[in-house]
Structures are given as C-alpha cells and as structure tokens.
Structure 1
Amino acid sequence: MSTKLAEIKKMIFELPTTEINQLLKEINEEIITKDFMKLAETGFSEWDEPEEDIYDDENND
C-alpha cells in the first residue's frame, strides 16, 4: 500500500461513522456513473469514424 493511500485510509477511519457512510455513498455513485458512461460508449462506437475528425481540427484553430 502506498504511503498516500495509507494516509487517506487513516484519515477516513478518524471520521465519524455518518461521514464514512456518506463518503461511501458518494464513492459508489461515482463508480456507478463511470460504469454507465463506459457502457454508453459502446453504443456510440458506430459513430466513431476517422473521417469525422476533420471537424475537431476546425475547432482547434
């Protein structure tokens, strides 16, 4: 375990139980959101065509 992770773990365990539960809830929501975003990306893969990248170049000028 890295030093930074050990420090974070120590700080978390010093929190009151209600705050730990809130933190866990927020972490779970973030994980679920990221999982849904990864899943959604697969539904748009048919739109991912290299020819369409020309529009990205126009906006970067």
Structure 2
Amino acid sequence: MTSNPTLKQVQELILKLPITEQIILFEDLEERLETVVMMNLAETGFQEWNEPEEDIYNVES
C-alpha cells in the first residue's frame, strides 16, 4: 500500500532539501506547469472544431 502525503508534508520535505536541489525542483515544476497551461490555452482555442458531425475519426462503417 502506498501512502499519499499531504501538501504540508511535501512542503516540509522540500524545505529539507539542499537549496540547489530545491532550485532544480522549482525549475522542473515551472516547466511542467508552463506546458500544462499552454495545453489548456490551446485546447480552448479549438473548441469551435469540436462539432460531432465533423468528427472524421469517428466514422461508423
């Protein structure tokens, strides 16, 4: 069984890391979050294309 640490526990563990590792972690998180934000923005830009009658990949044979 795996445990699910709370946000507070994760924060406490992060603060115990050496500063150089905290910086690396911050940079990795920043990159991941930027990607997620950009993907969400891109998704909203294509909502007009989400029309079921134009779904060429969902053709029943």
TM-score (norm 1): 0.74
Q: For residues 5-60 of structure 1, what are the alpha-carbon distances to aligned partners after superposition, in whole Å with 9 as ceiling and x for unaligned?
A: 111011101100000000000111111101110111122222101222871888xx
What are the ranges of 5 or more consecutive residues in structure 1 without an aligned counterpart? Answer: none
Distance in 2, matches of 1:14 and 1:57, equals 56
Give the TM-score taking structure 2 as reference length: 0.74
**Larger % of helix: which?**
1
| Runs of 5+ unmatched residues, structure 2 | none
Percent identity at matched positions? 38
Aligned length: 56
Structure 1 ranges of 4+ moved more than 6 A? none
CA RMSD of aligned residues (A): 2.4
